[in-house]
Chains A and B, each alone.
Chain A
């Protein structure tokens, strides 16, 4: 019918083919109730749950004290270990009991103040020793407990040092000191919800973009729809790209709902940079990841297999892209390897634009990498698809 078409007409038909195929994908998605509920869930409720999921701050660490001195100074020191970081759960009469409580996990810190603590401090001849035992079997809280205790101790120590200095004939104010003015940028109060919700959104976009187009393609393979499409004048490109296009639309709508409907109003997540730029790059990420999903789909024979393959890809991608542990902490070879994960670049982009207010100038390398990866993956999927069916 259209083998001798005018070029313009050819473009019109080509676009119309792509359009009907994309609408078909969206329609199918909207008919699958379980999938629809899942999509709504990941962009709304799941984000809410994630907001409260992870708490990296020290919270009411249980402290047990052995105060052998019973002096005003020792009580003053103990008094400084306060909530929210610490919580004094008891005192013991001998050190072994303290150790036992640590072993049992009933306490995390054990502060041991020896006899003559106040006296030694008053004399100023020797340093008064205080022992702090910390259960570091949980490393991060262990480290924070240690760090916060050191700060408490330093403040306490400084007050006694002033007395000593005066006694030695020095004005405390005339001793140099380097004060550390801590500034947290981009999230001054270290609100966990900002990072938690965004990281979850990225994870879920990744899962959806990998799974949905792959599952759709495999389902078409299983049901024989693909053969029907292949004997039609559609090109493999149109068959594959319509799925990607549908996925981009779903991702954009979902991200908008999540960002403007959940994260901004309820958790105060800021949008420091350009929202249009963020959405444009989200579309690019959806394209890249959907391409990877389609590659997976060409290797799977049925939905169960595609599920397993996606699982095998999604876990490494999410864990190794720097979404939990910062990239720089990983072995160097792994840092190079993870360059092939689109998510790694999209993490830079998302946190860059939304929290740090970065623009294209700062993110161009991530954008370039993602574009290249996207084209490569899509081409690979297309090549595998062609090879499989003809």
Chain B
């Protein structure tokens, strides 16, 4: 079939047809009236934060979950009973949520595949061929005898995909296959998925919590709290909330921010930069409107950009009045007095090294974080980020090296450090069975606050986190965004000078994430708190004043986000985005022609070019020679994800070159 077929056959019977779907768990409604149509050969996306109802919908489509109202039709079969659901199962593949959790950890890669194949009655002859091909495509061939539990996250994810595809289903349903995987593995996964689906003409329903993955889909639905916010092709959705994004670098940052926030609902501070989404305005008008607000404040740089899906998502929430945004209060007089003046060093790591047996998890890491600075630590899973944080917070002893945190020596004054820092971890690490106030009081007690202080800080935290009205709710019953703000509040109960955040925003919805970052920005600028943060969301990395990129335990890049982008541009050139109706074929051509850094995004291609201007003319000519029409080819600004993927793939290549060189 392929994508050409898709366009011409769009009138044919849909593979999946969901009408007015409702699902509730006990009293809690999970999905409330969702419609969905998936056409043959599509990669259809369900995008939304945790709790949007993606999993319920996908399980129902896979015929493994009952529902309360509505109809679900798959391959024209109405799934109104368990018996009816059985009839589709021969033709579907389902990958449940949770990285590698549905696989069998003690079985080898090959045994896992064999089990899935036998369960699906794939003949041994067919199995041998398919297994070989799929393992080769996913580059897992040499790991076929390795127990699944010893695979990396990215490898588990690919094995999961093989097991879902081994019986050559017509429809595959993948529930958050990229969650918990680093950006490099994620890109790899999407490339493989697109290739396999294209080869076999499979229809796919895929969910993700990463809004920036939207461009990977042919069509998608944006889900929020059990409802569809928008659906259609990525471009169509983009058009639902028309507007422009203004990026600027003002002089008097806090003043500018306050002004802009009063006028525009969507303003973000990214280090010294700011992003403002201006509703229903073309770029020049948007810039003009922003400059009006900033009257009097000098602006170093200002330009307009295409809004990202996240901006659109939030704009849509505002349109439908679903957003509950809490304005951040300016620092009170009392906290303002707390601001540490000057550029004192808050965190200093000096040649930190940590070994686990023969394995060196952290290798000679040095960096500095000043008071009031937001410092981002990036890296793939296992690069050593968490180990660095653990050493600096005193959970783990370094094998070598030294460090100072909040003015205290890591080796000698561990307890003093603990008194002066706050920590928010990856998972929600407060007590879910305690109420909001009980959690706050617990931490106040742990930090030895007096009763009077406890009362004051409790009020401050409730106010800061927008937790008013939730005081006596159990923490576990709060939505992710509120929970994370409560965790932040508890980490701040004793007014620490330094804050450590280890992937604090996983699973939090975009509005929640923005609110969270607003607070962090306020803390760093108004209270002078130094913040060290790790994140998997590359878009969040842009919020940091300074970034350090870790690879295999070492810091390989250490600069501001803008400098990092400049470095990569200097090395591989600018980014071009190419739109065509035959992206897969186009990609093959381009790779043949030596454009090695070409990546597929749904119907678009991204490629790096050293001579963007000449390539913009050369590539369409080259492709039209192969009868591939190019709709557009445009330069695009580099994203942090591009930077990250470039660094990690380059280093991986170097490393394997060294390995083969010595081996």
Interface string of A1-19 (1 = CB under 8 A from B): 1110000000001001101
Interchain CA distance A233-B444 in the complex, whole Å = 11
Interchain CA distance A264-B578 in the complex, whole Å = 85
Count chain A CB atoms within 10 A of each CB in B416, B419, B433 and give the residue with the most: B433
The main secondary structure of chain A at its interface with chain B is helix
Residue B78 interfacial (CB < 8 Å):
no
Instruction: Tell whether, in the assembled complex, residue A232 and residue B418 are in contact, meaning their CB atoms are under 8 Å apart.
Output: yes
Instruction: Tell whether, in the assembled complex, residue B427 and residue A3 are in contact, meaning their CB atoms are under 8 Å apart.
Output: no
Chain A residues closer than 8 Å to B419, beta-carbon distance: 1-3, 233
From A16, A17, A21, A233, B415 is in contact (CB under 8 Å) with A233
User: Which residues of B, 411-451, contact A by the 8 Å Cβ criterion?
Assistant: 413, 415-416, 418-421, 423, 425-434, 438, 441-448
Residue A185 interfacial (CB < 8 Å):
no
Chain B residues closer than 8 Å to A19, beta-carbon distance: 445
Interchain CA distance A157-B306 in the complex, whole Å = 113
Count chain B CB atoms within 10 A of each CB in A3, A16, A19, A233 and give the residue with the most: A233
From A13, A16, A231, A390, B421 is in contact (CB under 8 Å) with A231
Interface string of B463-484 (1 = CB under 8 A from A): 0000000000010000000000
Residue B395 interfacial (CB < 8 Å):
yes
From B395, B415, B418, B448, A389 is in contact (CB under 8 Å) with B395
Chain A residues closer than 8 Å to B443, beta-carbon distance: 232
Chain B residues closer than 8 Å to A54, beta-carbon distance: none
Instruction: Tell whether, in the assembled complex, residue A224 and residue B426 are in contact, meaning their CB atoms are under 8 Å apart.
Output: yes
Instruction: Tell whether, in the assembled complex, residue B446 and residue A232 are in contact, meaning their CB atoms are under 8 Å apart.
Output: yes
**Residues A20 and B429 in contact in the complex (CB < 8 Å), given A3-B419, A31-B474:** no
Instruction: Tell whether, in the assembled complex, residue B441 and residue A20 are in contact, meaning their CB atoms are under 8 Å apart.
Output: yes
Interface size on A, residues (CB 8 A): 27
- Least CB distance from B81 to A in Å reads 33
Chain B residues closer than 8 Å to A225, beta-carbon distance: 429-431
Interchain CA distance A31-B474 in the complex, whole Å = 10
Residue B394 interfacial (CB < 8 Å):
yes
Chain A residues closer than 8 Å to B446, beta-carbon distance: 17, 20-21, 229, 232-234
Residue A28 interfacial (CB < 8 Å):
yes
Residue B396 interfacial (CB < 8 Å):
yes
Instruction: Tell whether, in the assembled complex, residue A223 and residue B395 are in contact, meaning their CB atoms are under 8 Å apart.
Output: no
Interchain CA distance A228-B447 in the complex, whole Å = 12
Question: Which residue of chain B lies nearest to A230 when distances are taken between CB atoms in the complex?
Answer: B395
Chain B residues closer than 8 Å to A125, beta-carbon distance: none
Chain B residues closer than 8 Å to A223, beta-carbon distance: 427-429, 432
Chain B residues closer than 8 Å to A31, beta-carbon distance: 433-434, 474
Interchain CA distance A231-B396 in the complex, whole Å = 10
**Residues A231 and B394 in contact in the complex (CB < 8 Å), given A19-B445, A225-B429:** yes
From B397, B425, B434, B447, A233 is in contact (CB under 8 Å) with B447
Interchain CA distance A13-B453 in the complex, whole Å = 14
Instruction: Tell whether, in the assembled complex, residue B448 and residue A233 are in contact, meaning their CB atoms are under 8 Å apart.
Output: yes
Residue A32 interfacial (CB < 8 Å):
yes
Chain B residues closer than 8 Å to A230, beta-carbon distance: 394-395
- Least CB distance from B490 to A in Å reads 8
Residue B23 interfacial (CB < 8 Å):
no
Chain A residues closer than 8 Å to B442, beta-carbon distance: 20-21, 24
Interface string of B398-418 (1 = CB under 8 A from A): 000000000000000101101
**Residues A390 and B395 in contact in the complex (CB < 8 Å), given A231-B418, A233-B418:** yes
Residue B185 interfacial (CB < 8 Å):
no
With A1-B419, A13-B448, A228-B430 known, 11 other A-B pairs at CB within 8 A are A16-B448, A20-B441, A20-B446, A28-B433, A31-B434, A223-B428, A224-B428, A231-B393, A231-B418, A233-B448, A390-B396
A to B CB contacts below 8 Å, 24 in the list = A1-B420, A1-B494, A2-B448, A17-B445, A17-B448, A20-B442, A21-B442, A21-B445, A24-B442, A27-B434, A28-B431, A31-B474, A32-B433, A223-B429, A225-B430, A225-B431, A227-B425, A228-B425, A231-B423, A232-B443, A232-B446, A233-B418, A389-B395, A390-B397
